[in-house]
Amino acid sequence: MTGPARTDRRARCPGPTYPGAVNDNSLRAALPDDGILVLTGAGVSTDSGIPDYRGPGSVPRNPMTFQQLVASEDAHRHYWARAHLGWATMRRAEPNDTHQTLAAWEREGRLTGLITQNIDGLHERAGHREVVDLHGRVDRVMCLDCGERSARAVLERRLAELNPGWTEQTVAYAPDGDAVLEHTESFRVAPCLRCGGRLKPDVVFFGESVAKPIVEHCFAMTERARALLVLGSSLHVMSGLRFVRRAAKIGTPVVIVNRGTTRGDDLATLKIDAGCAETLTGVDAGRVPA
């Protein structure tokens, strides 16, 4: 699959379009036929039933930071008591139309890579082969003391045995596999099977940093791309915004599809204020195969 030269593609991109209806023609014009780097955020997974932090209608949340998690045994227990309930939401979630469309674009050779800020693993479950999990994966756990990594499913079986009936509570679910629950004093935490140490999901908590090699790899991907397509991210945190800033700095077109404003709107070549699934479906419906 071929497309216009990189310099021509930049020259043809339209100016920013802010709140309004989906403009399929503008989006098709802004994206090359190949060389697209995709950055996805929580808005991609809301159609799969996973809550987000900052989308329209989202309830304000104060997620536990890494510093709070390791501060005391009580905080560690409180986290896992809620996460054991929240795991049901993540485990039941299925890939939606956005995940499926991006996996198809990868098979067609349109993408040069995909970076996700999500921890749900739904891109891989949709068949996407090359994914950078910027913030880790919630289906894995790691020991804070010995570094051992293992499957979340194994830990969840142990927690269920230690806390029979715990998951039968009716609660509200929160982003990142959390749940709203105040009283957790009776919950029993499972230690690392290798050293007896403290476990955490293999994800980047608020207050932690993405590993430097991963960041450098994502910057390299950004510099190779012919366009950066941001889907479902408010770009509120620097972990994703820095790639938008780099793309804009080197003159690579930045296309953002997100409900509501983002911190990258002023850097966008094109901004569409709409849902991801219907937007990508509209693009595919009017695209002439190469």
Residues marked as catalytic: 135
- The C-alpha atoms of residue 36 and residue 224 are separated, in whole angstroms, by 9
d(CA 152, CA 150): 7
Give the whole-angstrom CA distance, residue 209 versus residue 229.
23
Contact 222, 249 (CB under 8 A): no
DSSP secondary structure string, the chain?
-----HHHHHHHPPPP--SSS--HHHHHHHS-SS-EEEEE-GGGTGGGT---SSSTTPPP--PPPHHHHTT-HHHHHHHHHHHHHHHHHHHH----HHHHHHHHHHHHT-EEEEEE---S-HHHHTT----EETTEEEEEEEETTT--EEEHHHHHHHHHHHSTTGGGS---EEGGGEE--S--TT--PPPPTTTS--EEEEE--TT----HHHHHHHHHHHHH-SEEEEES----SHHHHHHHHHHHHTT--EEEE-SS--TTGGG-SEEE-S-HHHHHHHHHHHPPP-
